[in-house]
C-alpha cells in the first residue's frame, strides 16, 4: 500500500528589516495579480556556498554584499519587480516578462550569467554561483503554490551541487540507475517518510480525515517525486516491504489522532497490490494488533484500473466485512469507472478537480466531473473533490453536491509527525473556507 513539494526557508536573523515572512511574499504576489494581467516570472535564487563566504567577510561586509547582489539583479529587471530576501542566501524575485515573451527562461538565464561575474568588495574578489528555480505565475494556481514551485525547482539544483537553473514546468526525473540502486536501502537509511493531506466536509465545515502520502528524500537525488520512484517499488518487488512499514507507521497516527477527533486515514493502494493476497492478511493483522476501529482506515483504489477478477473483488469484500472503508480514486464518468462503481459498491469516490476552470482544460471536463458526481450520489456514495486550488473551484464542486474537498486551498501535505500541532490551524482554515455562504 502506498500513498501516492520543500518549504520556503524562514527569514534570516542577520537583518529583520530586510526580510519578510513567506506570507508577506504571498500577499505581494496576490496584490500584483490584482493590479496587472501581465505574465510574471517567479525566480527563487540561492547563492551557493554563500555562508562560507560570509564567515570570511564578517557580518558587516556580508550585509553590504547582499545589497550589491540585489542592486545587480535590479539593473536587469523592469520597473515594479518585487525582490525579497527569504533567508541569508535566498532571494525571491517576482518580475514582469517582456512584451510578447511568455517564457521566463531567457530572463532567468541572463540573470544567472550576470551573477556569475565576480563581486569586488574591500579588496575581496568573490565568485558566487547560484541555484535558480524558475516558475511562471499562473493565475489559476494559488500564489503560495506558485512560489513553492519556484523554490522546489531551486532546491533540486542546489542538492545536486548548485550552479544551475531548473524550470518548475519542466521537471527532470532522476537518472534511473542511481534511483534503482538507492531505493532498496531507503527504508534502513530513514529516507522514507509520510505526509498527510487533510480532507474537510462541507457539512459542519470540519476536517474529517487525512490522506497518507509516501515521500522519499535522498541526500544526493533530493526529493524524488512519487511518480518517479513508485513504479520502481513495484518492479523491484518492494511493495510488500514498504507497504508493511507504511501500515506500522500509520497505526500510531490513528491512535494519536483519537485524542483530537475520530479521523479517517486513507491509504492509496497500487495496482500491484491488488494482486497480492497478503495485503488482506497484513491489514487484518495490523488492525488486530493496533486495537483501532476498522472504519478509521480507508483503502483507495484507482477507479480506472480495478480488474474484473472475482478473486480480487472477493479480497476487498473480506476487507469491507471487517469494517474497512473503500474509495475509488480519480473517478469520472468513463465506462471503466462506471463498471468499478457497480462491481465494488465503494463507500466514497474522489474526483480530480485540479484543472477545473482553467483555460487549458478540455471543454467537456467539467461536465464529465459533474456527471461523475451525479453517478456517485445516485449510488449513495460519498464524493470528495480533490485538487481544489481556488475558491471558484470550491464553489463549483459545492454546487455539484460534493460532500468533501481536498487540495492546496485547504492545506498542502505536511509531515505526519506534525499532526497534533498542525490540526487546529487546518481546522480553522476549514471553518473559514467551508462555512455556508451568507
CATH number assigned to the domain comprising residue 295: 3.20.20.450
Is the pLDDT confidence value at 14 over 50? no
Does 245 score more than 70 pLDDT? yes
Residues 83 and 196 in one domain: no
169-200 confidence digits (pLDDT tens): 776 666 778 888 888 998 889 999 999 999 99
* pLDDT category of residue 413 using cuts at 50, 70 and 90: confident
Residue 347 lies in a domain: yes
pLDDT, mean of residues 54-70 = 85
Based on the domain organization, do 121 and 190 belong to the same domain? no
Mean pLDDT over 324-346 rounds to: 90
pLDDT reading at 271 higher than 80? no
Q: Are residues 283 and 381 in the same domain?
A: yes
Q: How far is CA 69 from the centre of its chain?
A: 31
* CATH number of the domain within which 44 lies: 3.30.70.270
Q: Do 27 and 128 lie in a common domain? A: yes
Does 8 reside within a domain?
Answer: no
Q: Does residue 393 surpass a pLDDT of 50?
A: yes
Instruction: Name the residue with higher pLDDT: 351 or 98.
Output: 351
- What percent of the chain is modeled with pLDDT above 70? 86
Residue 8's pLDDT is: 28
Final residue before a domain boundary, out of 167, 200, 217: 167
Residue 236 lies in a domain: yes
**285 is a domain residue:** yes
- SS3 per-residue string spanning 204-262: CCEEEEEEEEEEEEECCCEEECHHHHHHHHHHCCCHHHHHHHHHHHHHHHHHHHCCCCC
Q: Looking at the predicted structure, is the pLDDT value of residue 377 above 90?
A: yes
pLDDT at 385: 96
Dihedral-angle region of residue 240 (phi above 0 means left; psi in -120 to 50 means alpha; beta otherwise): alpha
Residues 156, 75 within the same domain: yes
Give 120-151 pLDDT, tens digit per residue: 888 777 888 889 999 988 777 777 888 888 98
Domain boundary among 167, 195, 213: 167
In a domain, 2, yes or no: no
Domain assignment of residue 272, yes or no: yes
Phi-psi region of 261 (alpha: psi -120 to 50; beta: other; left: phi over 0): beta
Q: Is there a domain that residue 5 lies in?
A: no
Q: Using 50, 70 and 90 to split pLDDT, how confident is the model at 376?
A: very high
Question: 354 and 248 share a domain?
Answer: yes
Regarding whether 412 and 293 lie in a shared domain, the answer is: yes
> Do 316 and 252 fall within a single domain?
yes
Give the span between the Cα atoms of 355 and 438, in whole angstroms.
27
Pairing of strands 382-386, 404-405: parallel
> Residue range 242-247: average pLDDT?
84
Are residues 252 and 370 part of one domain?
yes
Same structural domain for residues 187 and 150? Answer: no
- Dig out the grid coordinates for 51 from the structure: 555562508
Please indicate, yes or no, whether residues 243 and 280 belong to a single structural domain of this protein.
yes
pLDDT value at residue 329: 93
Q: Is residue 139 in a domain?
A: yes
Question: 193 and 122 in one domain?
Answer: no
Range of the domain at 60: 16-167
Q: What's the domain count of the chain?
A: 2
Residue 3's pLDDT band, with cuts at 50, 70 and 90, is very low
Domain boundary (107, 138, 167) is at 167
Amino acid at each position: 500500500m502506498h500513498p501516492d513539494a520543500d518549504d520556503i526557508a524562514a527569514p534570516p536573523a542577520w537583518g529583520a528589516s530586510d526580510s519578510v515572512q513567506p506570507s508577506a511574499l504571498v500577499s505581494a504576489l496576490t496584490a500584483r495579480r490584482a493590479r496587472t494581467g501581465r505574465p510574471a516570472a517567479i525566480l527563487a535564487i540561492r547563492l551557493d556556498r554563500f555562508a562560507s563566504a560570509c564567515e570570511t567577510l564578517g557580518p558587516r561586509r556580508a550585509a553590504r554584499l547582499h545589497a550589491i547582489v540585489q542592486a545587480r539583479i535590479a539593473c536587469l529587471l523592469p520597473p515594479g519587480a518585487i525582490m525579497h530576501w527569504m533567508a541569508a542566501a535566498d532571494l525571491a524575485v517576482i518580475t514582469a516578462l517582456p512584451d510578447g515573451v511568455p517564457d521566463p527562461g531567457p530572463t532567468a538565464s541572463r540573470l544567472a550569467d550576470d551573477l556569475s561575474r565576480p563581486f569586488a568588495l574591500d579588496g575581496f574578489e568573490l565568485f558566487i554561483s547560484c541555484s535558480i528555480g524558475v516558475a511562471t505565475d499562473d493565475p489559476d494556481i494559488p500564489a503560495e503554490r506558485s512560489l513553492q514551485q519556484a523554490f522546489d525547482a531551486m532546491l533540486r539544483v542546489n542538492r545536486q551541487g548548485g550552479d544551475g537553473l531548473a524550470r518548475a514546468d519542466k521537471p527532470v526525473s532522476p537518472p534511473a540507475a542511481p534511483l534503482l540502486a538507492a531505493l532498496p536501502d531507503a527504508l534502513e537509511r530513514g529516507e522514507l517518510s509520510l505526509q498527510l493531506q487533510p480532507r474537510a466536509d462541507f457539512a459542519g465545515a470540519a476536517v474529517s480525515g487525512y490522506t497518507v502520502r509516501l515521500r522519499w528524500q535522498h541526500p544526493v537525488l533530493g526529493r524524488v517525486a512519487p511518480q518517479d520512484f513508485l513504479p520502481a517499488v513495484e518492479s523491484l518487488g518492494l511493495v510488500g516491504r514498504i507497504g508493511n512499514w507504511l501500515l506500522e507507521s500509520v497505526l500510531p497516527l490513528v491512535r494519536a489522532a483519537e485524542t483530537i477527533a475520530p479521523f479517517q486515514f486513507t491509504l492509496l493502494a497500487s495496482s500491484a497490490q491488488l494482486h497480492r493476497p497478503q495485503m488482506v492478511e497484513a491489514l487484518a493483522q495490523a488492525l488486530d494488533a493496533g486495537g483501532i476501529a476498522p472504519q478509521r482506515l480507508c483503502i483507495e483504489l484507482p477507479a480506472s484500473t480495478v480488474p474484473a477478477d472475482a478473486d480480487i473483488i472477493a479480497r476487498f469484500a473480506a476487507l469491507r466485512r471487517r469494517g474497512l472503508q473503500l474509495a475509488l480514486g480519480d473517478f469520472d464518468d468513463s465506462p471503466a469507472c462506471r463498471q468499478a462503481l457497480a462491481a465494488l459498491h465503494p463507500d466514497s469516490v474522489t474526483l480530480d478537480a485540479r484543472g477545473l476552470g482553467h483555460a487549458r482544460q478540455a471543454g467537456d471536463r467539467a461536465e464529465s466531473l459533474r456527471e461523475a458526481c451525479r453517478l456517485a450520489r445516485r449510488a449513495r456514495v460519498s464524493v470528495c473533490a480533490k485538487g481544489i486550488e481556488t475558491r471558484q473551484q470550491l464553489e463549483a464542486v459545492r454546487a455539484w453536491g460534493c460532500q468533501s474537498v481536498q487540495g492546496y486551498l485547504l492545506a498542502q501535505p505536511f509531515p505526519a509527525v506534525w499532526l497534533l500541532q498542525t490540526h487546529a490551524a487546518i481546522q480553522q482554515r476549514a471553518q473559514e473556507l467551508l462555512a455556508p455562504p451568507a
